[in-house]
Amino acid sequence: MTPRLILASTSPFRRMLMENAGLHFEAVAAAIDERAIEAPLEREGAAPDAVALILARAKAQEVSARFPDAFVIGSDQTMSLGELVFHKPKDIGDAENHLQILAGKTHRLNSAIAIARAGNILWEHVSHAELTMRDLTPDFIRRHIARVGDRAMASVGAYQLEGEGIQLFSHIEGDYFTILGLPMLPLLQQLRELGLVDG
């Protein structure tokens, strides 16, 4: 009997990636306060990729404590521009501000995964992607945000690369799965090594 596999997230994008890969799993939201974990880390000057990994671990361990026999996948993503770390926009004005700051610059997405069982971390990984946004006028940013609406508040960068957000970019380095927040290739390799998927 194949052990139970749980994704510690209800993100539709992460669920879609795992479903498309043919994985059999359940999705369970982690009961953690992400901002309470992030705030002291940011005050201490923790690197954005370290913050993503700590959050991924926390999600995996919290759900794993409730389902100790299952293998639990926790994941998180942070976005950084130099030393500046971004969070999901609070409203339309905040989303426009995000894009104004990012326009014409290269930012980094840090996507972390951790696998836990019985509260113990078995494996962890961080992947990076570098995205260069083209120069954008304030008028274009307003029109773009008006078109995408509330979807702009659903991601840390105020864009969805799998949708109209692709129009904002001039260059991308990194794989699609890392950008969507779940690096599938290293995850699938680890699941094969754990005997959770057919190798």
Question: So which residues are the catalytic ones?
Answer: 76
Tell me how far CA of residue 129 lies from CA of 90, 136, 175, 190, in angstroms.
Answer: 24, 21, 7, 20
Under 8 Å between Cβ of 103 and 167:
no
Under 8 Å between Cβ of 111 and 183:
yes
Classify residue 153 by burial, with Cβ atoms within 10 Å: 0-12, 13-18, 19+: middle
Q: If you write DSSP's letter for every residue of 26-73 in order, what string do you get?
A: EE------HHHHHHHHHHTT--HHHHHHHHHHHHHHHHHHHSTTSEEE
Unique residue bearing structure tokens 């307003």: 142
SS3 122: strand
Rounded (10°) angle between helices 138-148 and 92-102: 130
